[in-house]
Copies of this chain bind each other. A is one copy, B any other.
Amino acid sequence: MATEDLPALSDLTGRRATRREFLVKSSILGALGPLGLAACGADESERKPGGSAASNVGVGPDAGPATAVRNADSKLDTGGHANIHQATAVPTKAPSTTFRRFDPALPPVARERTTRLQFTAQEHPIRISDDTVISAWTFGGDTPGPVVHVKQGDTVEFTLANEGSIPHSMDFHAAQIDPKVAFRSVMPGQPVSYTFRARFPGAFLYHCGTSPVLMHIGSGMVGAVIVDPPSPLPAAKEFVLVESEYYLGAAKGGVLPFDYTKMLATLPDYVVFNGRPSQYMTAPIKVKVGDRVRFYVVNAGPTHPCNFHVVGEQFDTVYLGAPPDLPLRGIQTFGVAPGGGLVFEMLADVPGEFVFVNHGFGHGQKGAIGILSVEA
């Protein structure tokens, strides 16, 4: 978060004007039409879509012609001492967009002890369901942004390029660093770079911290950094779920803008895991009987807790401190604070279809729901 003072409510007029400009720009994108669920159900294919490392940034390349994500991860093994996560080059004025399931699989941990991240702040339309496109603010063209996976003690060299139309910034909850300098807002066209070390293991949020933070978090500029402890946790199938609330205004040119006034009214239209309402209902997360399953649940909010629960299951472990510290046993539901993250584990010893939800149903029912399919 930048250290500049947050605006009084009376400042919003100006802020809205800025946002409206963006909306005007977004609306130029025109009628997007229902392009269908291109990747819907393509559970496995999306994880290795033309390259082994796509899952490493948490966003697979899209089959659509206009949203080709450049996959810089091919450099992974040849990049010397550093991993490079690059989520850039998505044309801001994509003429259309297709639905794409967000891969929930935790990408492999960085091989090197320094990870280079090159993120781009982009205002970008995203199809979140068959009939809904939102004009999101993003890191790399999607919300949430790329999942970053490092090890305690690792160094992260980060650069943000601002390809948007307003100031943006990056606030890593995994970092201990002077935010006035590192998390400062940068104007369009200006980059900001900094380096931090991941001191504690856990599931950490990152987000744009530009004022008003509520608007920047609420418009999609969020993501997760997973930091492994020195001694690995028990072997498990690992998934990342970033919960976000969406507050949307009236459609313009077929695209729904985010609505700051609604954010302040705290009644979301959607509450989603990994950016799309109920995406894992139609394309479940799949594991095998006997697997240990670990969910890294990061709650971007901006406002409500994520009361995480798996129907038909109990967590044998919720790490309340830095994993593996303070394991809670036998937990049905535990609240993840907005701006927080917790690690949930269960043993998938029963086959079946287990629905995971935010059990605060007044909000959670608006899309924070998916299926964990445990196959025999």
Which residues of A come within 8 Å of B, CB atoms?
1, 3, 5-6, 9, 171, 173-183, 199-202, 204-205, 209, 212-214, 217-218, 263-267, 269, 278, 281-282, 301-305, 307, 309, 311-314, 316, 320-322, 325-335, 337-341, 349-355, 357, 359-363, 365-366, 369, 371
Contacts and interface: CB of A to CB of B under 8 A. Distances in A.
A303 B361 contact: yes
Contacts of A365: 6, 212-214, 264
A58 to B, nearest CB: 19
29 contacts: A3-B353, A5-B281, A9-B269, A171-B312, A176-B314, A176-B349, A178-B352, A178-B353, A200-B316, A200-B329, A214-B365, A263-B362, A264-B267, A264-B362, A264-B366, A266-B267, A301-B360, A302-B362, A303-B360, A303-B363, A307-B337, A307-B338, A307-B340, A322-B328, A332-B341, A334-B337, A335-B335, A335-B337, A339-B360
Closest 9 CB pairs of A and B: A178-B352, A200-B330, A339-B359, A303-B362, A322-B330, A179-B312, A333-B340, A333-B339, A302-B361
A362 B217 CA distance: 10
A282 B351 contact: no
Contact of A350 (B176, B332, B335, B363): B176
Contacts of A173: 309, 314, 332-333
A32 to B, nearest CB: 19
A371 to B, nearest CB: 6
A261 to B, nearest CB: 11
Contact of A213 (B217, B264, B331, B361): B361
Nearest to A327: B321
A257 B357 CA distance: 26
Given A335-B335, A351-B178, A360-B302, A320 B320 contact: yes
Nearest to A201: B330
Contacts of A174: 314, 332
